[in-house]
Amino acid sequence: MYKNFFRYLISAIFLLGFSVNSNADFKVGFVYVGPTGDHGWTFQHHEGRNAVEAAGIKTTFVESVPEGADAERVIRQLAQSGHDLIFTTSFGYMDPTNKVAKDFPNVKFEHATGYKREHSNVSTYSARFYEGRTLLGHIAGKMTKTNTIGYIASFPIPEVIRGINAMTLAAQKVNPNIKTKIVWVFTWYDPGKEAEAAQALIDQGADVIMQHTDSTAPVQTAEKAGVWSFGQASDMQRFAPKSILTSIIDDWAPYYVERAIAARDGTWNQQDTWHGLKEGMVAMGPYNSAMGADLVKEVEQLQKDLASGKVHSFTGPIYDQKGNILVAEGKVADDGMLAGMSVYVKGVEGDIPK
Amino acid sequence: MALYFFTPFIAIILTILGGGIIFYILGFNPIEALKFYFITPISNLYGFSELLLKATPLCLIAIGLSYCFKSNNWNIGAEGQLTFGAIVGGGVALLFYNQEGFYILPLVILAGAIGGMIFALIPAILKTYFNTNEILVSLMLVYVSKLILDYLVVGPWSNPEGFNFPETRQFSDSSRMPLLFEGLRIHAGIFLALAAVMLSWFILYKTYLGFQIKVSGLSLKTAKYAGFKGKTMILVVFMISGACAGLAGVGEITGPIGQLHRMISPDYGFTAIIVAFLGRLNPFGIIFASLVVALTYLGAETAQIFLQIPKYTGQVFQGMILFFLLASDYLLIFKVKILSLKKNELRH
């Protein structure tokens, strides 16, 4: 993280010196779904904003904006008060973002994790978190003694199912007996529920706990129970130093800086971005020394191969739970299939809630 | 008596002063911060329309709550009644998905009111027939209603084209509240709130029911002695209260939101308790109070946008209003007397 920070600081100083034609009034607005806090989804977006500030661009943020009727007003106010580029950083802002974008054709909008781009001034972006899950799966497959991985899942949307599948496939590759047990908590953030889910999975024999939720409760529960875990969104190592093997880190900073500069310089255009390990939007936290040097080396190699495209998270043959083929041998799943993923792969236990 | 209606203003002035001090401590220019807080949000037509939009559900719920609070029934679960009203109303709206007809919206609104009413009847019946505590029951039912909503939007009612995201389809136009002005979000629901105010003034001050409510609130024993049917009255006030909350919920989902999802209300049901008391449980007072409290929401957003003051100051302001209101009431009712202990008393 610090490495990135200095990278942007240097580029900021550079830009400050050379920005002759920059628009002095150029402002970027951010809408957050939660408080900025010290870890998790919103914190990472806030880090991205800090990087934009460090690049010499003025920014504003509004935190804890409910995804209901209030979101539209906040986005509109940002657009009205002279913000030229607005990042709306939660799925629930999809319709309000498009609605406001219609009325402000000169303002650019960037919506995270959505799929609607109804006007030419709306872009969407998301990260290929599943690539990180592939690395976690590899580690989990090697580290588990009970061959059972516990997964705390939020909502049965393609994003979450993709993560479960990517992890399971990677774990099976190194350990064919892997079973993935899932608890759906139907929330993005609820420490109480998440802790209960983690405990339930541990009681069912899971000795590696993984989460697609935002609080630190699962890793802390894992630390107490003496099982392995992985951090989510931010580096969570300090919350469970013994238990955490590594964390998937959402690094929005490079993208935010790039888009802010593009919007300022008039080169911004509509796009649908889906970046991964290659571009650095998905990054890995430090590896736990308990993994052993060999495994760390393997994982680092796999990370490089995923980034270069040599290895794909969803390489055939992939079967669904009933044994039907999803991706043929030698093929990889295309982005369309990944974007709409709604079935479990073989080895995942239970059904997707309907 | 005049002071009784004057204390809300004292509370608001004290809140503004208190807010100024907090802004000063946080390192902001208090005058500028307060200007962004209380003036900027409503300095144009759009802002004013948003204020009315925000005040509408607060006013509706608070009007309903005033029936309960006036008669010593502590309905704390308006948030749950709002949610359940939205569920029932939203269900009807989904039932008529992609259908045309002038009757659809009235049906949706009616369903919302009935939903809220049914949900409020649960604590009322439990109170009247099983002597349970309505504060606890109505509060706990809030969580029940939210879980029901969660279940529905995740499962059976989720949008079939929505990639399993926890939300329903967008309602069709036939079940959306008509907008009052092109380009603004303020909708016909505001007339529901105004009608509720007028009707409530009439019921509370001009009818036998209103008299019963007033007497029960002042003294339950007197009400019993006068031969009022206490149980029926409890059921009726809860039903009115629930219906109002249900209307607020259905107004939100058929107005600005346009669908059901998990975040239909930023706790309007709880904030409306502050509104009800700030409005002195008086229908017209509640209009005024709902505007003041709605402004604290908008102000918090503007203050964060322009000065990056944390948005949570909005909740601090709401808390301060209630605190200062209760404090000035206390000082109004009780006389403060500083007693000095005599020397011989100290020896004991």
- What is the Cα–Cα distance from A118 to A102, expressed in whole angstroms? 8
What percent of chain B shows pLDDT beyond 90? 71
* Tens of pLDDT, residues A194-229: 999 999 999 999 999 999 999 999 999 999 999 999
- What is the Cα–Cα distance from A269 to A249, expressed in whole angstroms? 27
- Residue in A64, A69, A78 nearest the CB of B305: A78
Compute the Cα dihedral for A30, A31, A36, A41 and give only its sign: negative
| Residue A353 at interface with chain B, using a CB cutoff of 8 Å | yes
Is A342 within 8 Å of A161 (Cβ atoms)?
yes
- What is the Cα–Cα distance from B230 to B277, expressed in whole angstroms? 23
Chain A nearest CA to B261, separation (Å): 8
Average pLDDT, chain A: 91
* Tens of pLDDT, residues B130-155: 999 999 999 999 999 999 999 999 88
Helix (H) or strand (E) holding B131: none
Q: What is the pLDDT of residue A18?
A: 41
Determine whether B156 is exposed, middle or buried from the number of CB atoms within 10 Å of its CB (0-12, 13-18, 19+).
exposed
Is the confidence at residue B1, as pLDDT, over 80?
no
Is the confidence at residue A11, as pLDDT, over 70?
no
Task: Pick A273 or B162 by higher pLDDT.
Answer: A273
Pairing of strands A85-88, A27-31: parallel
Task: Pick B343 or A15 by higher pLDDT.
Answer: B343
* Tens of pLDDT, residues A78-96: 999 999 999 999 998 999 9
Amino acid at B276: A
Is B192 within 8 Å of B53 (Cβ atoms)?
no
Which homologous superfamily is A2-127 in? Response regulator (3.40.50.2300)
Q: Up-side HSE of residue A146: CA atoms within 13 Å toward CB?
A: 16
pLDDT band at A180 (very low <50, low <70, confident <90, very high): very high
* Tens of pLDDT, residues B250-264: 999 999 999 999 989
Is the confidence at residue A21, as pLDDT, over 50?
no
Q: What is the pLDDT of residue A24?
A: 64
| Residue B132 at interface with chain A, using a CB cutoff of 8 Å | no
User: Strand, helix or coil at B181?
Assistant: coil
User: Strand, helix or coil at B256?
Assistant: helix
Q: Which has the closest alpha carbon to A146: A177, A170, A174? A: A177
Q: What is the pLDDT of residue A12?
A: 47
**pTM, two decimal places:** 0.87
Chain B nearest CA to A202, separation (Å): 25
Pairing of strands A179-184, A27-31: unpaired
Range of the structural domain that residue B96 is part of: 59-265
Q: What is the pLDDT of residue A14?
A: 44
* Tens of pLDDT, residues A251-262: 999 999 999 999
| Residue A354 at interface with chain B, using a CB cutoff of 8 Å | yes
Cβ-based neighbours of A304, under 8 Å, separated by 6 or more: none
Class of domain A129-249+282-339: alpha beta
Structure tokens, A153: 């899942």
User: What's the total number of domains in chain B?
Assistant: 1
* Tens of pLDDT, residues A238-248: 999 999 999 99
Q: What is the pLDDT of residue B313?
A: 85
Structure tokens, B45: 């037509």
Chain B nearest CA to A153, separation (Å): 13
- DSSP for A315-353, written as a single string: BSPEEBTTS-EEE-TT-B--HHHHHT--SPBTTB-S---
Which residues pair with residue A86 across a beta bridge? Answer: A29, A109
pLDDT band at B342 (very low <50, low <70, confident <90, very high): low
| Residue A96 at interface with chain B, using a CB cutoff of 8 Å | no
Q: What is the pLDDT of residue A146?
A: 96
Q: Where are the beta strands (DSSP E) in chain A?
A: 27-31, 58-62, 85-88, 108-112, 122-127, 148-153, 179-184, 208-211, 228-233, 244-250, 272-275, 282-284, 318-319, 325-327
Per DSSP, chain B holds a count of helices (H) and strands (E) of: 14, 0
Task: Give the number of residues written for chain A.
Answer: 354
- Note whether A62 contacts B301, CB cutoff 8 Å: yes
Q: Which residues of A touch B163 (CB under 8 A)?
A: 115, 157-158, 340, 342
* Tens of pLDDT, residues A289-329: 999 999 999 999 999 999 999 999 999 899 999 999 999 99
Q: Which residues of A touch B164 (CB under 8 A)?
A: 155-158, 342
**Mean pLDDT over residues A15-23, rounded?**
43
- Note whether A73 contacts B301, CB cutoff 8 Å: yes
- What is the Cα–Cα distance from B94 to B258, expressed in whole angstroms? 11
Q: What is the pLDDT of residue B344?
A: 58
Domain map (residue ranges) of chain A: 2-127, 129-249+282-339
- Note whether A64 contacts B150, CB cutoff 8 Å: no
| Residue A156 at interface with chain B, using a CB cutoff of 8 Å | yes
Pairing of strands A244-250, A282-284: antiparallel
Q: What is the pLDDT of residue A1?
A: 46
Is B261 within 8 Å of B197 (Cβ atoms)?
no
Which residues pair with residue A109 across a beta bridge? Answer: A86, A122
Q: Which residues of A touch B252 (CB under 8 A)?
A: 68-69
